[in-house]
């Protein structure tokens, strides 16, 4: 089977990104590669392979199904941490496999304690606390009950981490909110210490926090978007710009290249409309290339009349609406085209580049969303 497009994932770019992140966070903290959302669209199994080769041995997933994918692919001894959803029915298997997980309510905590006792294997728990994100996490008001439960059962469980997540560390407009969160985290930490509870790993930072709030870097950092070569926002990039090496070259490198090929070529006369409806009318005689990638493949409909692709090293504009399975691009300026010629949807060709950012800006989608919408069935190929 040959798919209508392919994604190439660069191992070299990942190594470069990890080197940069390491230079920012110092030698000690563990880097946990966040591989939720099918590794931000890059493919969990491909990313586990690439990351392990780059020396990463800690992975974070949102849910248990993703954790099993990492489990199946990763080397023995790599750690897996579930940040979000798991079904209590699966908890025993998760504990048996030594997969660690966030605990943010008493229901999950009590269940984990009882299973640990029953099977004689300590569950590896990361206690998530509410510091202001208001999604998951134990509230300040629950601290005493929480501490009592942990103390009473400390023999049967493994208290791996104390963690929280910041509400928008990627923007200075949230500066006050993030600083309040950091302060609240330390209040929790001090409270537990007074109770005699210590944690193996203290961790709070995502990419943005690790890059622009150095005080959030503790024993472990949970790095998602930056590992894939994207700045969490433009603002984070500008905030770092001054500290970058001479020449201000962007130290983060995109891993992903998205390629397809020309399915068909067609001439359209002045005054004719292209595609559904009448969103595009040819103002002169034009030539089109039809590319077999549409919104069903993750190429947003919002790129209708907006998107650009590269063919033979030249920018070509998407004309008319993006359909479920195709786009039409204006190739009037490109010579000697034939069916099967390469089309770059994201990536470089002939010294020019289509970035995910250009893409996302024109559609108001953030990098994160565009990437994770790439369907799982597009083949992902690791390139060295």
Task: Using CB under 6 A, list all residues that contact ligand PLP.
Answer: 34, 36, 83, 165, 206-208, 222-226, 232
Q: Which residues of 296-314 are buried (b: 16+ CB within 10 A; e: fewer)?
A: ebbbbebbbbebbbbbbee
Whether the Cβ atoms of residue 271 and residue 279 lie closer than 8 Å to each other: no
- Annotate 346-373 with b (16+ C-beta within 10 A) or e (fewer): bbebeeeebebbebbeebebbbbebbeb
Nearer to ligand PLP, 223 or 318 (CB): 223
Residue that is written with structure tokens 């193996």 in the block = 200
CA dihedral over 190, 200, 68, 206, signed as positive or negative: positive
Shortest separation between residue 261's beta carbon and ligand PLP, angstroms: 31
Please state, as a whole number, how many other Cβ atoms lie within 10 Å of the Cβ of residue 14: 24
Helix (H) or strand (E) run with residue 381 in it: strand 380-383
Nearer to ligand PLP, 36 or 240 (CB): 36
User: How do strand 256-261 and strand 342-349 relate by DSSP bridges?
Assistant: antiparallel
Angle formed by the axes of helices 64-73 and 44-53, to 10°?
Answer: 50
Q: Tell me whether residue 208 or residue 268 sits nearer to ligand PLP (CB atom).
A: 208
Looking at the Cβ atoms of 31 and 322, the one nearer to ligand PLP is 31
Beta carbon nearer to ligand PLP, 162 or 226: 226
CB 329 within 8 A of CB 309: yes
Residue nearest to ligand PLP (CB): 224
- In the complex, the smallest distance separating the C-beta of residue 218 from ligand PLP, rounded to whole angstroms, is 13
The nearest distance, CB 193 to ligand PLP, in angstroms, is 23
What is the smallest separation between the CB atom of 220 and ligand PLP, expressed in angstroms?
Answer: 10
Nearer to ligand PLP, 166 or 280 (CB): 166
If the CB atoms of residues 226 and 343 are measured against ligand PLP, the closer one turns out to be 226
Supply the minimum distance, in Å, between the C-beta of residue 133 and ligand PLP. Answer: 9
Q: How far is the CB of 380 from ligand PLP (least distance, A)?
A: 19
Q: Closest approach of Cβ 306 to ligand PLP, in Å?
A: 26
Beta-strand pair 286-291/30-34: unpaired
Q: Is 329 exposed, middle or buried (CB count within 10 Å of its CB: 0-12, 13-18, 19+)?
A: buried
């Amino acid at each position: 089977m040959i798919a209508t497009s392919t994604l190439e994932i660069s191992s070299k770019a990942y190594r470069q990104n990890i080197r940069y992140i390491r230079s920012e966070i110092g030698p000690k903290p563990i880097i946990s590669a966040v591989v939720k959302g099918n590794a931000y669209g890059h493919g969990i199994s491909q990313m586990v392979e690439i990351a392990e080769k780059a020396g990463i041995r800690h992975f974070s997933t949102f849910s248990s199904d993703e954790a099993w994918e990492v489990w199946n692919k990763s080397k023995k001894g790599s750690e897996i941490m579930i940040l979000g959803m798991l079904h209590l029915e699966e908890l025993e298997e998760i504990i048996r496999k030594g997969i660690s997980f966030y605990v943010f309510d008493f229901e999950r905590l009590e269940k984990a304690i009882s299973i640990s006792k029953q099977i004689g294997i300590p569950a590896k728990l990361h206690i998530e606390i509410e510091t202001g994100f208001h999604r998951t996490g134990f509230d300040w008001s629950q601290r005493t009950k929480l501490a009592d439960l942990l103390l009473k059962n400390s023999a049967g469980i493994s208290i791996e981490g104390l963690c929280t997540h910041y509400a928008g560390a990627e923007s200075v407009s949230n500066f006050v909110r993030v600083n309040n969160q950091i302060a609240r985290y330390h209040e929790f930490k001090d409270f537990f210490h007074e109770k005699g509870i210590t944690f193996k790993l203290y961790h709070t930072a995502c990419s943005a926090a690790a890059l622009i709030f150095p005080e959030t870097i503790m024993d472990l950092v949970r790095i998602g978007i930056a590992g894939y070569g994207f700045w969490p926002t433009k603002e984070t990039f500008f905030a770092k710009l001054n500290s970058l090496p001479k020449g201000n070259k962007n130290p983060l490198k995109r891993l992903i290249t998205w390629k397809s090929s020309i399915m068909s070529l067609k001439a359209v006369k002045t005054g004719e409309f292209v595609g559904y409806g009448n969103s595009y009318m040819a103002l002169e005689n034009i030539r089109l290339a039809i590319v077999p990638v549409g919104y069903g493949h993750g190429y947003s409909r919002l790129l209708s009349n907006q998107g650009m692709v590269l063919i033979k090293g030249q920018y070509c504009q998407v004309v008319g609406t993006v359909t479920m399975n195709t786009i039409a691009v204006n190739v009037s300026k490109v010579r000697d085209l034939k069916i099967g010629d390469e089309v770059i949807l994201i990536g470089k060709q002939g010294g020019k580049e289509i970035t995910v950012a250009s893409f996302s800006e024109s559609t108001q989608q953030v990098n994160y969303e565009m990437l994770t919408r790439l369907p799982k069935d597009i083949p992902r190929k690791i390139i060295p």
